[in-house]
Structure 1
Amino acid sequence: MVFGSWLQAGEGAEWWSEETVAVVTGANRGIGLEVCRQLADKGLTVIMTARKPQEQLSSAAQQFLQEAAETGRKNVIFHTLDITQQQSVLDFVDWLKLTVGFADILVNHAAVDNSVIDWNLKEWNNVDQSTMLALLTWANGVSDKYESARGCLETNFYGTKRLTKALLPLLRPSSHKPRIVKRLIQIWTTLLRDEELRKQLCETASLTEEKIDEGLDMFLEDVKSEKGMDRWPIKYPTYSISKISLNAYTRLLALQLHDKACVNSVHPGYVRTDMNLGNGDLSPAEGAANLVRVALLPPGGPSGHNFLEGEDVEF
């Protein structure tokens, strides 16, 4: 099913207002910053977060905040938030509780890719970084080390889950239901080369947080020992397993909150960002629009779904 089918059901019914509060993580640049801009332009109150303090934000983010201040827009508020740090999350939730009191939308956008590029291989073969990152034939030129793998999982999976859980008590009940949107890339569980692992993460009915965590623990042990990697995705194994696990958690959370919130994931498309060295078919604004559409789907919209550039697709 495409976005249009869901949107037509509630066409013209803008359920949000300036009192609708949207929390956006990873908003320092690129897609995350554009999500903040577009939600603010629609009149919502946007809590823009990034792990860096405001004075260290990108020039684009600082300009956005400065323009909001100069025009007297009070619906854009910045707060530092490092989702990898428990205390930072707790401090943010306490601040949100005292300042606003609730949240209606959570857009989990913060993510990293700590893959290590083999620069010698790159130079010897005269291959550019974008080719090495894009083609499976150069997968051996992009590897994962234990510490970098832990850091990637801490942000992409554990940090996202940590913040989501901490904010659940602040999600405001309403007829349109609060929204949780997780930014993913289109990584299918079939990339796992171990049949038992695929089964463990695919069968939503028997899925548990413990099973997801067990899979991640197993992955880190294999990275550390440099053995057993033949069961994991060939290309960007850490980044891939972080997103596969987040896919699974999205489905699990949607089941747990079935009558309390709408939980969906979105692949914004192949967007030109710093993470993929500026390659892509879409601008950050176009990618952000795909996330915003899901965040603002009309009441009665789907939960536990995965969207790819406007289309409802399988995980």
Structure 2
Amino acid sequence: MYKSGDTQVTTLLTPLIEQRADPFIYKHTDGYYYFTASVPAYDRIELRRATTIAGLATAETVDAWHKPDTGPYSELVWAPEIHFNQGAWYVYFAAAPSREIKFNLFQHRMYAIRNTSANPLDGEWEFMGQVDSGIDTFCLDATTFTHKGVLYYLWAQKDNAIEGNSNLYIAPMSTPWQLAGEPVMLTKPELDWEIRGFWVNEGPSVLQKNGRIFISYSASATDENYAMGLLWADEDADVMDPASWTKSPQPVLQTCYEHGIYGPGHNSFTYGEDGETVMLVYHARTYTEIEGDPLWNPDRHTFVKPLKWDDQGMPVFGKPSLID
């Protein structure tokens, strides 16, 4: 929404890419945007690239990796993210054991694949194995970021001693597929808007700007209750100290019933073509009449909008339905 003279104009958003949940867009130094997301079949890792964000909508897709038919990572490939860490491409993702191993499908663990080609849509992807957090429980939604020369791993995981489905953890990395230290919990589902349907903190994404480190995350069930929260710390603080982080008591992005955009979440951040504008990437649905389990519904679509900022240098997410 913006004003032109005395006239107020509203720009309603439409999906950039339909039926792609958990979207991740990475802008590389080669001038390309790289996109990956959960596909409705949950059976592979799909990549595409373009020189503009809009171009990702029609870009050719490449299947980088397919799940095996059986084994510990042969079901429900969720929430891949593509990163360029220490001179190579990595995709981090979660996958569950086959039904022959576990009767309960939601037993995900985290994995990584690597590609040393300049263009990750070319060359071979090497399976690097499980990214072991040292806690043998359900885990997913890994991301990485580098701060003061240290590569960090940030993800969601269940702790059987804490009520709920998943909390957010951080740890330094010794390699882009191995942790170097014990995980530290940064946040757990505890606020009213985080525990609707399911007690969940998941889908973290990192943005470093204005002297702060921001971590967005998603909470509650994956229907219209799904919403985004925010943590932040000073850029000079110890990111491994939970006391360094402040948690917003209210969601920063949530369902817009007025314009029919429901359950926004599992976001990432990228930069616009100008190299300055922070772009918010997220998924949402355009209706609420979901048949069956929301996780199997394919109609979570990728949206992208510019992120705004207030006078204190804090991000303003606005509504998921508007460019405002």
Indicate the TM-score class for this superposition, using the shorter chain for normalisation.
Answer: 0.3 to 0.5
State the structure with bigger RCO (CA 8 A, min sep 6), 1 or 2: 1
- Higher percent of residues as helix: 1
| Bigger strand share | 2
TM-score by structure 2 length? Answer: 0.32
